[in-house]
Amino acid sequence: MNIFVFGNSIVAEDSKPVELLFHLQDHFPTMTFIHADPTDEWWEGQNNPIILDTVVGLKQVTLFSSLNSFEDPNVRITPHDYDLFMDLAFLLKLKKIKSFTLIGVPQRGNKKMLLKEIIEKIEAISTQS
């Protein structure tokens, strides 16, 4: 299973997924975590990509499978990831991907607790596959 990790280690508000990447790779040695850039063609060969990214306004790690979830004014993607949102919208419209699962990570929070929540979400996704 591939999980595409977005984020920017230089921007504190967008760094949590990248900061936790090593721990996730260590916990899930049979999964492939790919630090991706939304401006690249990261989705190639993926019909239903799984994505790990920062989502503004979250209090806990949350799963999303629809862009409609981001219409709530309290839930926003970071400015860095605006490209990812638009990219997903285009990929769905052009039928390049069928669906997606986004593991949304809050901007702030205890790293151990966030890691625990992310691991739980990944385990739930992997049992559904």
pLDDT at 128: 81
pLDDT at 62: 94
pLDDT at 9: 87
Low-confidence ranges of the chain (pLDDT < 70): 70-83, 129
Helix, coil or strand: residue 39 = coil
Q: What is the dotted CATH code of the domain comprising 2-128?
A: 3.40.50.1450
Adjacent-strand bridge partners of 105: 54
pLDDT at 85: 76
Residue ranges covered by each domain of the chain? 2-128
Question: Do 55 and 104 touch, CB atoms closer than 8 A?
Answer: yes
What whole-number distance in Å separates Cα of residue 129 and Cα of residue 124? 9
The pLDDT tens digits for 54-88 are 988 889 999 999 988 765 545 555 554 456 777 88
To the nearest 10°, report the CA torsion of 117, 100, 54, 30. 50
